[in-house]
Amino acid sequence: MNHIDFLSSDHYNEFKRLAQRLTDPGSTGREYFAALYVIAGNEHIRECLLPYMDLESGKIRTSTIIDDNTFDKREFVLAKLVIHLYNSKEWVLPTELIALPEEDYKLAMQAITLCRNEQFDGVTIPND
C-alpha cells in the first residue's frame, strides 16, 4: 500500500479545492488526478494550465498547451509531465525528471505513483 504525500498543506488544500469542482469524481480516471496533483503543487503551472481545464468534467485540452505558453526549463518538464500523465501526448525523459529541483522532483514522482493502478492507504499532509 502507498501513501499520498502532499508537499504542504497549501498543496493539499489547492488539490482538494480543484478536485471538489468535479461533477462526478467517480467517473474521473486516475490520470486526471495525477495531473491535478502536479497542477495543484506548482503555482506557475497552475496559472498556465487552468485555462485548458474543465474542472467540472475532469478534462484537460492538451493539444496547444506547449505552443501557447512560455515555460522555463523545469516548468516545461512539469507541463510535459502533466500532459503525459493525462493522455500520453508528450514524452518526459528520466534525465529531465532527475534534473528537477528537489520539490519539483518529489511532485513528479508522487504524481507518477498516483497514476499507477494501486491502492492508497493514507494521506500525508505536512503541517506548515
Tell me the per-residue pLDDT of 111-123, one tens digit each, with 9 for 90 and over: 998 887 666 555 6
For residues 89 and 62, the answer to whether their CB atoms sit within 8 Å is yes
Q: How far apart are CA 49 and CA 44, in angstroms?
A: 9
Q: How far apart are CA 55 and CA 7, in angstroms?
A: 22
Q: How far apart are CA 122 and CA 43, in angstroms?
A: 25
pTM here is 0.90
List of the chain residues with pLDDT < 50: 1
Instruction: Quote the pLDDT of residue 123.
Output: 63
Residue 40, CA distances (Å) to 36, 47, 88, 95 in order: 6, 10, 20, 23
| DSSP summary character for residue 104 | H
Q: How far apart are CA 112 and CA 40, in angstroms?
A: 14
